Amino acid sequence: MRVALGVEYDGAAFHGWQTQDDVRNVQQCVEEAVSRVADHPVRLHCAGRTDTGVHATGQVVHFETEAVRSRRSWMLGTNVNLPGDVSISWAREMPDDFHARFSAIGRHYRYHILNRPMRSALWRDRAVWVHHPLDESSMHRAAQALVGEHDFSSYRALRCQAKHPVRTLHRLNVSREGEMVKIDVHANAFLHHMVRNIAGVLMAIGRGEQKEFWARQILELRDRTKGGVTAPPQGLYLTKVDYPDSYSLPDGPDISLSA
């Protein structure tokens, strides 16, 4: 049996998603919790690995099991065995052709920037604090140059292991709600550090340090060494993963707890 889970986590106290020796990571926490419910060791496959300090509200994983459990049992049983900064939001039995990573057709991220003169005690690990005023309208206009299919070599980490740098950005919006500036990104897939590098460039433009055309200029250079600063991780959230409608996966928490 193949089972998919929706996972949310506060990444502040984790060294990223992927299992690593001697450091706390999300994958190992969830695998241990699910293994207790399944009564055998399980190996999780995720839609997208997140780095140290990065959060998720819409991570998707799957695993193989011979155990027969209801959706309620997978959700509640796993959550009982998880720490407070990780939670399972839904569970589904899936066909054999489903894969959390390779079946995905799109991913959504949000980057939070707290834009005010004083730092915040409550948002310190959940948003990036920028005390200089940001012009979110200028950031949004600059961002539109990145929408579409492009070679994002200038916006990926130098050690990115992706086979090619071409990605398609379906949407890149910058908006403000009070003191919070939000960068919402939707693409078919992302390169390592791609969203954080985009955020770093847009924040420099928002502070007036660079002109709006700089975002396009960096893109056209196709050279990461000519790009902007990589923004800190704590503002980044994986919010949703898109799959074909045939899989009928929920967009958010399953509050029905149905079988």
* Sequence ranges of the binding site: 109
Enumerate the known binding-site residues for substrate: 109
Helix (H, G, I), strand (E, B), or coil: what is residue 137? helix
CA 7 to CA 174: how far, in whole Å? 26
Residue of 51, 135, 184, 254 marked active site = 51
* 131 and 117 Cβ atoms separated by less than 8 Å: yes
Torsion of CA 21, 233, 180, 187, to 10 degrees: -100
Active site residue 21: no
For residues 103 and 259, give the distance between their C-alpha atoms in angstroms, rounded to a whole number: 24
Name 85's Cβ contacts closer than 8 Å, sequence gap at least 6: 9, 10, 12, 13, 14
- Which residue, chain included where needed, has tokens 């009070």? 178
Catalytic residues: 51
